[in-house]
Amino acid sequence: MIRPRVLLVMPLGEQLGGGEMMFRQLLQHGRDGPVEWIVVFTRDGPMINEARTLGYETHLFPAGRLRQLGRRWAVIRAIAQLARERKVSMVFGWMVASQTMAGPAAWLAGVPAAWYQVGLPQPDWMDRLATLLPACGILVLSRDCAAAQANIWPHRPQRLVYPGASLERFDLARAESPAMARAALGLPSTGALIGMVGRLQYWKGMHVLVDALLAVRAHHPDARVVIVGGPHEPEPEYPAQLQDQVRRLGLGDAVTFAGFQADVPRWMQAMDIIVHASDREPFGIVVVEAMALGKPVVAGAAGGPAEVITPGVNGLLAPFGDADALAGALLRLIDDPELAARCADGATSRARDFSATRYAKAFTDAVLDLLHPVPQ
């Protein structure tokens, strides 16, 4: 049986967030499946060499900025020509930005287009334009994302593909005890250590965790927070706001801003409880990563995390922006070691549902289903 060829259009050349991580996982685990992937990058970066090293036919068509319409049109034509030459069955856009090129290129080449909505769809011009462009379907990260995408016209067929996590990275981290990890990283050896991992962005809720810590320390004065993540370029003021908040609340000795760290699994292993306080996170790969380490997790009560966590079974949930609710959930875990242990055990089991291997297979199956839909 001849494998269909699908041309993947990737608008970034380096990993900046979860969307690029998922792309790398597909390349790493989808090489020998029923689809032959051809990769087009529209921005230079280290992922290009990674794709080539993995054996993929890889092309770079630099597209420049959105306002450079002439260059964008040249890239669309180049993608269409490549699609015709390689006789691809589909042009697939990775993320909203790439669909503005993949959709028109597929139309010029006379083949179907599809794309991956890796964020929470918004009724802005970009999501509306991407949805308006030709596509036989859209892949989404969660049921919450599917509902939001359904509010944008026209209504395209959808396929739900939950992201995966590179669980093997976190299995290795478990070989080191939390106490050993704390010592190696220079973190306090005593007291509950509450951690958070993510870029410093308002919607991720670091400020909510800082407020919650004040209430937690009223009961456990030795509790501390460590936040792992660097600044986010579009929000340069947020790190300073967090520092000011910490000083204002008198928490200077209780909050550690670790900045960007390459060895995230080790930092997470040092934590007793991991918080993910984002506002309607599309999915939340870091939630699954924390669960893979067997950590009790408190996550936002909306979006993707609410589809991963069953409260009291493998974690707890708290509404975004509600510091009192977050503090209450943290205190439940600190004050009830049996609950914390039960959630940790359940988290380890639940994380296995989101391996990178399963993700690559589910993604491939969804693309094949869009190419050859089964009559309802």
DSSP one-letter string for 286-321: HHHHHHHTT--EEEESSBTHHHH--BTTTBEEE-TT
Question: What is the domain-level CATH number for residue 249?
Answer: 3.40.50.2000
Q: Is 328 left (phi over 0), alpha (psi -120 to 50) or beta?
A: alpha
Cα–Cα distance measured from residue 100 to residue 169, given in angstroms and rounded to the nearest whole number: 34
Q: What is the pLDDT of residue 54?
A: 97
Above pLDDT 90, what percent of the chain?
A: 91
- Residue 80 domain flag: yes
Q: Is residue 82 part of a domain?
A: yes
Task: Verify that 283 and 224 share a domain, yes or no.
Answer: yes
Residue 171's pLDDT band, with cuts at 50, 70 and 90, is confident
Strands 297-300 and 316-318: parallel
* Residue-level pLDDT at 16: 81
* 149 has a pLDDT exceeding 90: yes
Angle, CA 169 vertex, CA 9 and CA 361 arms, to 5°:
45
Q: What is the distance between the alpha carbons of residues 53 and 29, in angstroms, rounded to a whole number? A: 14
110 shares its domain with 171: no
Residue 43's SS3 state is coil
The verdict on 146 and 216 lying in the same domain is no
Over residues 27-83, the pLDDT tens digits come to 999 998 999 999 999 999 999 999 999 999 999 999 988 788 889 999 999 999 999
Same domain for 231 and 287, yes or no, is: yes
pLDDT of residue 374: 66
- One domain, residues 43 and 108: yes
Q: Per-residue pLDDT averaged across 243-258, rounded?
A: 97
**H helix intervals, 167-237:** 167-173, 178-185, 206-217
313 to 75, 261, 267, 348: CA distances (angstroms) = 49, 30, 24, 11
pLDDT at 115 (0 to 100): 98
| Same domain, yes or no: 143 and 222 | no
196 and 330 assigned to the same domain: yes
Q: Which pLDDT score, from 0 to 100, does residue 1 have?
A: 60
Check residue 352 and give its pLDDT: 94
Q: What is the pLDDT of residues 261-319, one digit of tens each?
A: 989 999 999 999 999 999 999 999 999 999 999 999 999 999 999 999 999 999 999 99
Taking the CA atoms of 75, 76, 81 and 87 in sequence, report the sign of the dihedral they define.
Answer: positive
Task: Give the range of the structural domain holding residue 34, as residue numbers without chain letter.
Answer: 5-164+356-371
Same domain flag for 220 and 336: yes
pLDDT in tens, 326-346: 999 999 999 999 999 999 999
**If DSSP codes are grouped into helix, strand and coil, which group holds residue 373?**
coil
Residue-averaged pLDDT of the chain:
95
Residue 93 scores a pLDDT above 70: yes
